Amino acid sequence: MRRVLLAGVCCLGALAAWAAPGDENWGQPVRLLPPDFDVEIGGFFGPGSDMRPDGTGRLWVLHKQTQYRHDQLATWEGGQWRVLDIIPERTTTARLDEGPDGTVTCSWEGAMIQLKGLRMRVASGVASPGDLAQIYRDASGSLWGGILPPGAGRVAFPESEGLETLLSIRLKDAPPAVSDKAHRVLRDNRGRYWFSFNGHDFPYLVGVFPEDEPPAQRPDCRNLKDTEFPQINMMLIGPSGAVRVFPGKPERHPSPGMQLPPVLGRLFWDSPESFLFSDNGLALWRVHTDTLCAQALYPKDTDYDYQYDQRMIMNGVAVTGDRRLLATGWGLLALEKDGAWTELLAAEDLRLYPGGNGWWAVSHAESNPNEPVLAFVPGDGGDPAVIRHPCGLKVAQIDLSWQEPDGGMALLDKDRACVQTLSPEDLGGLLERGRSGAGTRCAA
């Protein structure tokens, strides 16, 4: 395959003249290779790390070119996978990440592009002269940030169109880790910015203080109930560039032979004074931003032993009054105001999406006819309406789900050969049939 390389990105030559509706003024169009292009979409990296939907609902996938073992980019188009001739040959370190304004970023050695619809934008290549903490806002009002390494040639976002830089701090002290990845940022009622940042072996909760310097020592939280055990890994950055690192408990103690997923931190909104911070299977904390104390949250049957627990894998959190709905690796749980955990729905590897007057829960489970596929959780606190293997679904085993711009849903099956899109009306029909007991199982 003939390629011309320019600044680490393939020159696309003749570009397609079509794009997602409403995106014609964004970036430049990309060209999909012909449908009969002989490539095997196989050897995927793994769930959650190789597939990303963008804000238009388009799904992007990184896969291994089987013949040459290099990374290649593909998208679902017209009922099949279509390949993009973008990533240079012999590249083996490409990755996909969520980006601002509904984009997906694809990055590799010395290059980064943003993708949305069937259009792309190439990174500016503006390098940072030193470690840099940045916070910026996209056109939708969402906040983003990161800790950038010196000389990062892939610094794309602050120089991109429509992004407003809110804060840029040159760091005086070396942080324990840096990355060119953009992270979703939450802002507390004191104007401080928070995001989850993955270090080399474990995640940090990062706080960026635009006005006051952070404390030099970890706050004493011993007088507060259920706080700081296990301690959270925290990194605080002040306006002077000072970096305060408070190590926590990075060790993991799995059962012999247990294969654990990567330790990836997740940060969720809880209230203007607190956030929920998860490290993907080991612990969940409620972080009080006024005191900088972290309250460890566990079900009553769990010891404070920092052991791997599927209930600690937080895929999503929904705030409803004093209750927090937790979409976890075990299923759907409710964290009550008094700290109690209520089991609402056992369904492996659950995701949660707003819809109607509540939330849709989607199970990414292995094949099990008794496992729920979908459930609707009413916003008034009622019991979930469970849908098991409905005939309205072409996808029996769901590998990935995501929400469409119109509030509908898209589902990718386990063998990654089918994508089904459900409109809000389709979802409402499934819910009605599920509640009535009609059509909840397919006939033989």
16-30, 140-154, 185-199, 249-263: which has the minimum mean pLDDT?
Answer: 249-263
Amino acid at 337: K
Looking at the domain assignment, is residue 339 inside a domain?
Answer: no
Distance, in Å, from the CA atom of 75 to the CA atom of 407, rounded to the nearest integer, reads 21
In this predicted model, what pLDDT tens digit does every residue of 296-334 receive, in sequence order?
888 877 765 556 788 888 999 999 888 999 999 889 999
Distance, in Å, from the CA atom of 356 to the CA atom of 118, rounded to the nearest integer, reads 29
Residues 55 and 91 in one domain: yes
Residues 139 and 282 in one domain: yes
Distance, in Å, from the CA atom of 30 to the CA atom of 441, rounded to the nearest integer, reads 42
Which of 254, 288, 312 is a domain's end point? 312
Q: For residue 358, what pLDDT band results from cuts at 50, 70 and 90?
A: very high
Residues 277 and 202 in one domain: yes
Distance, in Å, from the CA atom of 427 to the CA atom of 408, rounded to the nearest integer, reads 7
Asked if residues 378 and 363 have their Cβ atoms less than 8 Å apart, the reply is no
Looking at the domain assignment, is residue 433 inside a domain?
Answer: no
Looking at the domain assignment, is residue 331 inside a domain?
Answer: no
Residues 166 and 29 in one domain: no
Task: Please name the residues in contact with 153: beta carbons below 8 A apart, sequence gap of 6 or more.
Answer: 8, 110, 111, 123, 125, 127
Amino acid 228: pLDDT: 52
pTM of the model: 0.83
Distance, in Å, from the CA atom of 269 to the CA atom of 188, rounded to the nearest integer, reads 10
50-59, 223-232, 269-278: which has the minimum mean pLDDT?
Answer: 223-232
Domain count, the chain: 2
When the pLDDT of each residue in the chain is averaged and rounded to a whole number, the result is 77
Residue 34 predicted with pLDDT over 90: no
Distance, in Å, from the CA atom of 441 to the CA atom of 158, rounded to the nearest integer, reads 50
Looking at the domain assignment, is residue 414 inside a domain?
Answer: no
Amino acid 328: pLDDT: 92
Instruction: List phi, psi (to 5°) of 365.
Output: -95, 160
Residue 124 predicted with pLDDT over 70: no
Residues 142 and 110 in one domain: no
Q: Which residue has the higher pLDDT, 189 or 373?
A: 189
Residues 106 and 168 in one domain: no
Residues 157 and 272 in one domain: yes
Residue 57 predicted with pLDDT over 90: yes
Looking at the domain assignment, is residue 226 inside a domain?
Answer: yes
Residues 150 and 287 in one domain: yes
Q: For residue 344, what pLDDT band results from cuts at 50, 70 and 90?
A: very high
214, two tokens = 């952070």
Amino acid at 383: D
Domain assignment of residue 27, given as a range: 1-123
Looking at the domain assignment, is residue 412 inside a domain?
Answer: no
Other beta carbons within 10 angstroms of residue 421's beta carbon come to 12
Residues 221 and 278 in one domain: yes
Amino acid 160: pLDDT: 57
Which of 282, 312, 342 is a domain's end point? 312
Residues 110 and 131 in one domain: no
Looking at the domain assignment, is residue 210 inside a domain?
Answer: yes
Residue 67 predicted with pLDDT over 80: no
Other beta carbons within 10 angstroms of residue 23's beta carbon come to 17
In this predicted model, what pLDDT tens digit does every residue of 89-113 receive, in sequence order?
777 778 888 888 899 988 887 788 8
Residues 229 and 246 in one domain: yes
Task: Please name the residues in contact with 389: beta carbons below 8 A apart, sequence gap of 6 or more.
Answer: 369, 373, 396, 440, 441, 442
Mean pLDDT score, 120-146: 80
Which of 312, 332, 357 is a domain's end point? 312
Residue 139 predicted with pLDDT over 70: yes
Residues 156 and 286 in one domain: yes
Report the SS3 class of residue 255: coil
Looking at the domain assignment, is residue 329 inside a domain?
Answer: no
Report the SS3 class of residue 275: strand
Amino acid 353: pLDDT: 94
